[in-house]
Amino acid sequence: MNVLVADDSLIMRRLLTAYLRPWGYEVLEAKDGEEAWSLFQSESVSLVLTDWIMPNVDGLELIRRIRASPRPGYCYLILLTAKSEKEDLVTAMEAGADDFLVKPCDKEEVRVRLREGERIIRLERELAQQNRQLRETQAALIQSEKLASLGQLAAGMAHEINNPIAFVTNNLAVLRRDLGDMTKLIDKYQLTKPVLQQAAPELHAELIQLENDCDLAWLREQLPRLLQSSASGLARVRDIVTNLRDFARLDQAAYDTMELGKAVQATLEMLNRSIEEKRLTVETEDEHTPPLLCQPDKILQVLYNVVLNAVQASTPDSKLSIRIKADSECAILEVQDFGVGMTEATRNRVFEPFFTTKPVGEGTGLGMAVSYGIVIDHGGRIAIESELHRGTTVLVRLPFKPPPRQNGQTATS
Amino acid sequence: MNENRIQAMVENNKPSLLIVDDEPDVLFSLVALLRRDFQVFTAESGAQALEVLQQHPIHVIMTDQRMPSMTGVELMSRVRAEFPDAIRIIFTGYADIRAVVLAINTGGLYRYLTKPWDPDELVELLKGAAAKHDDLVAQAQLHASLSDYLDDASQLIKVADSSELGVGFAEQFQLKTQRLRNYLANIQGNS
């Protein structure tokens, strides 16, 4: 543990250092408060022994600065003083000192006071560690709860939207067919125009007027296009619903065994064009894990989404690292890119449906949400480690044998 | 119901099809798609479907699975018992597939298809179902007339003069007839 010793007296500093080193402390010496303050800022210091009276910045001021500093972790401060009046001690403690030693210091007393400080720092560190774990657990819990309710919402939506999609798709097909026939009919009628003009000139004129009003030529050309565009828009809606179903895990595919390594190779081949466009070097480490019992199509979908995201996030000419490992129960896949990375806020929302950082039209924001649903459904875990501008690692754990599932289950974890 | 009757009178040469779905928009959409190839009847519930089946010979029945009061699977088991000639199809959202797959295995469904369906595929599937119905009916007719014919034949041989037919011929003929009867019984037992 680092101890910062601040004293304007060289003898005093040397003496304290001589005490402290054999007890196992690393000692940083400062000849005044100013130097001590800059050492405190640049080094990791958790114990400070400081003289009160020093030139420039004195001990009290140093203590006040340290207490006001936003640096995380507690710093234990002992003030060395020749003063022993009660008011002086109150002043020192109020400035933020934890303890004080009256000079000249007794060696044993220095030792026990430092041990006391060390004990408090250790306790504080343990507490901070536990707090951090608690926060992480809480965040994970909130995340999975949130995704579970989103899953229920998605399931309900997918079900309700399915019927209208079904008949509107059908209607469009019927309209396309019947419009074709109507067009043929109208074309035939066109041939009767000369006869009509002779037989009923008024009717003929009216007909020409109507044709002009609706711009018949445009209708003949463009109506099929209008239907075509509606049909492809609808197909997109249908895909979104299918993806939502996957996220909500409504559909059940057959289970089969699959080798993760081969699946990764297949995925890389599928994404070969994008990988080459960015000139990425793909490094695959495969420990040749035992085959997985899973829904192969769904797991392929997860691999595709995860690797596609990694490719898209990669900076050109960088590396893409894929590792396949195993422990006793699970196969573990790690996909690491060295690309843009993400902020913590982004990382926290990655699995939410419709959350995307891609431009409008390039991603539906469902890839990772769907992957989450599938992995959880297989009794696995999916997690993300990321650093902004450094890259992202997606970790997927899949048990070799998935747990049995109940019918009609929605996204819970 | 009136509309249905009118259609039935006008288009008699097309295979008859009954569609059951509790959503009128789905029914209308399917009628629009299928009216050219089929004589289409519709029903908005299982009970209504059974009424239509009472009144019209239906070749193919296609029902939604998820409906209030009677599900598609329930309706199909009634149809199987009461109108066994009708070819049975269920169409369903994905969530119900389990129940439907079970129904195929136990209830003798011809097919199931998922919503949303592909219009072209649906037409082909229904044409196949109608053809299947015709085959089955033709087969049943063949069996019935063959059975009739065999009855007549064995009656005839009994009253015929055995001296004119030659010794042993009548016996041979009865044996052949009996063998054909057995084959027929086997086929009917299997179908």
The three state secondary structure string of B123-177 is HHHHHHHHHHHHHHHHHHHHHHHHHHHHHHHHHHHHHCCHHHHCCCHHHHHHHHH
Predicted local distance difference test score (pLDDT) of residue A250: 63
Calculate the alpha carbon distances from A63 to A42, A78, B14, B138 in Å.
16, 9, 98, 104
Residue from A246, A190, A219 nearest A375 by CA: A246
Residues of A in Cβ contact (< 8 Å) with B24: none
Cα(A162)–Cα(A241) distance, integer angstroms: 8
Residues of B in Cβ contact (< 8 Å) with A168: 29
CB-based contact A163 B120, cutoff 8 Å: no
Q: Is the pLDDT of residue B7 over 50?
A: no
Predicted local distance difference test score (pLDDT) of residue A242: 79
Specify the pairing of strand A330-337 against strand A391-399. Answer: antiparallel
CB-based contact A166 B115, cutoff 8 Å: yes
Chain A nearest C-alpha distance from B55 (Å): 28
Pairs of CB atoms within 8 A across A/B: 56
How many helices, marked H, and strands, marked E, lie in chain A? 13, 12
Q: Is the pLDDT of residue B5 over 70?
A: no
CB-based contact B116 A407, cutoff 8 Å: no
pLDDT in tens, B142-184: 988 998 998 888 888 877 766 677 767 878 888 888 888 888 8
Residues of B in Cβ contact (< 8 Å) with A246: none
Q: Is A292 helix (H, G, I), strand (E, B) or coil?
A: strand
Q: Is B116 on the interface with A (CB under 8 A)?
A: yes
Cα(A16)–Cα(A22) distance, integer angstroms: 11
Q: Is A257 helix (H, G, I), strand (E, B) or coil?
A: strand
Interface of A with B in 288-347 (CB under 8 A): none
CB-based contact B26 A245, cutoff 8 Å: no
Predicted local distance difference test score (pLDDT) of residue A402: 81
Per-10-residue mean pLDDT of chain A, 413 residues long, equals 91 91 92 91 91 88 91 89 77 88 86 92 91 82 76 78 90 94 93 93 94 92 92 88 73 79 88 90 90 87 91 93 92 94 88 78 77 87 91 93 59 36
Per DSSP, the residues of A178-229 read HHHHHHHHHHHHHTTHHHHHHH-HHHHHHHHHHHHHHTHHHHHHHHHHHHHH
Cβ B29 vs Cβ B119: under 8 Å: no
pTM: 0.60
Residues of B in Cβ contact (< 8 Å) with A171: 29, 32
pLDDT in tens, B62-114: 999 888 889 998 999 899 999 999 999 998 876 667 777 777 776 678 888 88
Q: Which residue of A has its CA nearest to B30?
A: A170
Residues of B in Cβ contact (< 8 Å) with A167: 23, 25-26, 28-30
**Which residues 6+ apart lie within 8 Å of A182 measured at CB?**
none
> Do the interacting molecules here have an ipTM over 0.85?
no
Q: Count other C-beta atoms under 10 Å from residue A35's C-beta.
A: 19
Residue that wins the pLDDT comparison between A245 and B56: B56
pLDDT in tens, B10-48: 446 899 999 999 999 999 999 999 999 999 999 999 999
Surface-to-core class of residue B163, CB atoms within 10 Å of its CB (0-12 exposed, 13-18 middle, 19+ buried): exposed
Predicted local distance difference test score (pLDDT) of residue A121: 92
Q: Count other C-beta atoms under 10 Å from residue B157's C-beta.
A: 17
The packing angle between helices B72-82 and B46-55, to 10°, is 20
Peptide bond just before A404 cis, omega within 30 deg = no
Q: Is A163 on the interface with B (CB under 8 A)?
A: yes
Q: Which residue of B has its CA nearest to A242?
A: B94
Cα(A220)–Cα(A209) distance, integer angstroms: 17
Cα(B129)–Cα(B141) distance, integer angstroms: 18
Residue in the structure block whose two tokens are 């519709």? B42
Chain A nearest C-alpha distance from B188 (Å): 36
Task: Give kind and range of the element (H or E) at residue A139.
Answer: helix A107-190
CB-based contact A170 B120, cutoff 8 Å: no
Cα(A164)–Cα(B93) distance, integer angstroms: 12
